[in-house]
Amino acid sequence: MLTLRKHVLPSVLAVLLLSATACTSESAAGSRPDFLPEEVTSSPGSGAASAGPSAAAPRLGPASAVDAGVVLEAFKGRDVAKHLEALQRVADDNDGNRASGTTGYEDSARYVEDQLRAAGYTPVRQKFTYRRDDERVESFNILADTEGSAENTIVVGGHLDSVQKGPGINDNGSGVAAVLETARWMKETGMQPANRVRFAFWAAEEDDFDGSRHYVDELSAAEVRRTALYLNVDMAASPNGVRSIHDGDGSDFEEAGPKGSREIEDVLFRFFEENSLPAESTPFDGGSDYEPFLRAGIPGGGLFTGDVESKTKAQVQAYGGVAGKDLDSCYHKACDTIENTNADLLKEMSAALAYATATYAMAPRG
């Protein structure tokens, strides 16, 4: 499933860092976030949204002058793992799991909502019902928006639920931690997004992507057109993991995302390359919440550190770890606890998500 990327992003793409529209973007305190160079920031675009046959939203040029090194250093100093600790406590108090429709899920949601409110967001619950086997289940997604143009909405999400057989701390407490810490970081830096970011915590991914599918199904045609892209993170701390990015253009695997997905892939690779961190591509194989967005024609991308695949010798040379052992031997098991996570990898993947989110949040319209 995982292969080393066949090419290195050309250095000429660094020129994109200078192509953002120059303007002044100061925080409420009057200071510029330190991940933006002094001379360059981005401003919101103007004009009516347009839809193409393969892209459901107006183009955004991924050219925000965000400093990848500064973002990584910031996340190295952030306590991203505290979210995993909180979700582990929730699972311990709720029969060992946080599955959708259970008290464990409710308690997980309350933790996320409390964190978002403390950071200055106003989270809302998007309720829905679905069927799990012969059971009717009531559940909900959590959504929280930044400021910025709704004509160019960037959705950043990961599933909040676990399987019923375990606490789901890597799958997908780690993704929740990455999304949540990205949201907190954006507020703390004083970023003023040109484009609205919607942070999403999905229910029922472990059943059949019911939460994310409900969200996409409820979008009007105009709202689909205004959704510029979707960033997904599902497993970001695999104990024997790798740094992988979804193959947006299908150049390494057979399945490509809608037009615009290649640019997302390049933005994520750029983060790792500018920080001298190896990374590789992974396919869009229909295995996570990106699937409903791709089916709707919305460009997508995301991050993944691996599950049941065995680590190769080449991957050991690139990332360390143990050859021949699963990237996550506790995938969908009761042993997917906080001990089943890689704290350093979590910080790196969270920083990559934050970098891509900021890049598009501050991007001009293409």
Q: List residues bridging with 124 in a β-sheet.
A: 143
Tell how far CA 83 is from the center of its chain. Answer: 15
Provide the sign of the torsion angle of the four alpha carbons 107, 112, 113, 115, taken in this order.
Answer: positive
Cα–Cα distance, 264 to 251 (Å, whole number): 14
Judge whether 71 and 102 are in contact, CB under 8 Å: no
| Tokens, residue 89 | 């406590």
Strand, coil or helix: 306: coil
> Which residues are CB-neighbours of 261 under 8 A, at least 6 positions away?
229, 246, 248, 249, 294, 299, 300, 301
In the chain the first and final C-alpha atoms are separated, in Å, by 33
Give the HSE-up count for residue 176: Cα atoms under 13 Å, Cβ half-sphere.
35
Q: For residue 13, what are the CA distances in angstroms to 6, 132, 225, 283?
A: 17, 46, 27, 23
CA dihedral (214, 217, 219, 223) in degrees, to 10, reads: 120
H or E element in which residue 227 lies? strand 227-233
Cα–Cα distance, 73 to 339 (Å, whole number): 24
Strand, coil or helix: 282: strand
Please give the positions annotated as active site.
Answer: 205
